[in-house]
Amino acid sequence: MLSYKHFLTILIVIILSVCTFKSVYAQGDILNKKDKLTLTITPPLIKNNINPGESWASYIKVVNNNLKAIDVYTYIFDFKSAPDGGVEFIQQNLENALNFSEEDNKFLLSQWISIERGPIHLEPHESKKIPFSIRVPVDAEPGGHYAAILVGTKPVSKIKGTGIKISSMVSSLVMISVGGNIIERADIREFYTDRSLYSQPKIKFILRLENTGNVHIHPQGEIKIYNFWGKEVGSIPINHNTSFGNVLPESTRKWEFDWEGEENLLDMGRFKATVVLTYGEEAKETVYRSVYFWIIYWRPILVSLAILLAIILIIIISVKIYVRKAIKNVEKNIQLAKMEENKKEISVIPSSENGIINLRSPKQKRK
């Protein structure tokens, strides 16, 4: 067995080892945090209406959230809508960030923006405003034009092909509407649920809205859910209290919404959901569509059917038992009646002669 001194020595060694491990781990964690560079940019979204031939100036604010000073650079890239939402940076801009023809200048917002390219020095936790201006050409095409101001730690000259990773940068999206023949038009292409039959009120709605106009729109509205009796049992707001959720021209945006209601057996049956969206700056337009689905609570139905089946089986078994007992009682009574009749037909006459009992009937005795 270990002595008290040996036990104490082993315990001290273990404690020192654990403390050393924790210290090394903490140092490594701090180093990793120091290696990570994080930036913040505001505002994340810039929207404005500008007429052809006009200029507009503003700024973005960049914050260095690191423990060391850094130099940052700015990039301007055009973007378009990605499938079912989001943004996708135009490939040719990544490869030729500063080289465009005069014809491109009519369409690409990146060529209308002037901003300091950098390097821009930021001390630890320092924030700095970076001004920019937008000059819209006189012959600019009316409608929406879109670009992104990105801020990172590499200069433009070091960007090759698609080597840039947007996730390692911060960006501010710029959405400009150029005045003129503005067309605001949209249609709901799809509105449906992921299933047509549910066993509980947990529904997923899928909505696709197509912008067929020439300017971005910011649709707002809600989805209302009605039960079998036509009573409203829930609603889902769409694009409320947010500047995002825009749909770019000639693109389709997809939304998915989850709704969970209260279980109520009285509400079981066919449900209806209606989406209503309003959009447009020039004139408010409204689009709507409905979808139907079923909510059937299988568990209580199966339990009720099981109980009903059990009751029916009990009744059937009870009736069978009762019938069998009744038949047995009838048969028993018939047997008793026959025995009584036989007793009446047989008479037992005792004879005193020689102690012999005469079993003959009186008629036989007379003979």
Is 257 among the domain residues? yes
Q: Contact at 8 Å (CB) between 294 and 269? A: yes
pTM above 0.85, yes or no: no
Which of 277, 296, 315 is a domain's end point? 296
Q: What CATH number is attached to the domain comprising 162?
A: 2.60.40.10
pLDDT digits (tens, 9 = 90+) for 187-240: 999 999 999 999 889 999 999 999 998 889 999 999 999 999 999 999 999 988
Return the pLDDT at 293. Answer: 95
Same domain for 170 and 62, yes or no, is yes
Does position 167 have pLDDT exceeding 50, yes or no? Answer: no
pLDDT attached to residue 344: 67
- 319 inside domain: no
62 within a domain of the structure (yes/no)? yes
Looking at the DSSP bridge assignments, the partners of residue 260 are 202
Structure tokens at 268: 């079981």
Q: Render pLDDT for 98-114 as a digit per residue (tens, 0 to 9).
A: 444 454 445 688 889 99
205 and 284 co-located in one domain: yes
For residues 150 and 126, membership in a common domain is answered with yes
Alpha carbon distance 187, 253 (integer Å):
11
Whole-number average pLDDT of the chain: 78
Name the domain boundary from 296, 319, 350. 296
Query: Are 157 and 194 members of one domain?
Result: no
pLDDT tens-digit series, residues 63-99:
998 888 999 999 888 887 777 667 777 754 444 444 4
- Domain residue limits at 248: 186-296
Instruction: Note whether 53 and 174 are same-domain residues.
Output: yes
Find out whether 142 and 179 touch, Cβ atoms under 8 Å.
Answer: yes
Q: How many domains does the chain have?
A: 2
122 in the same domain as 238: no
Rounded to an integer, what distance in angstroms lies between the CA atom of residue 278 and that of residue 235?
16
Residue type, 143: G
Asked if 146 and 176 count as a contact pair (C-beta separation under 8 A), the reply is yes
Whether residues 112 and 231 share a domain: the answer is no
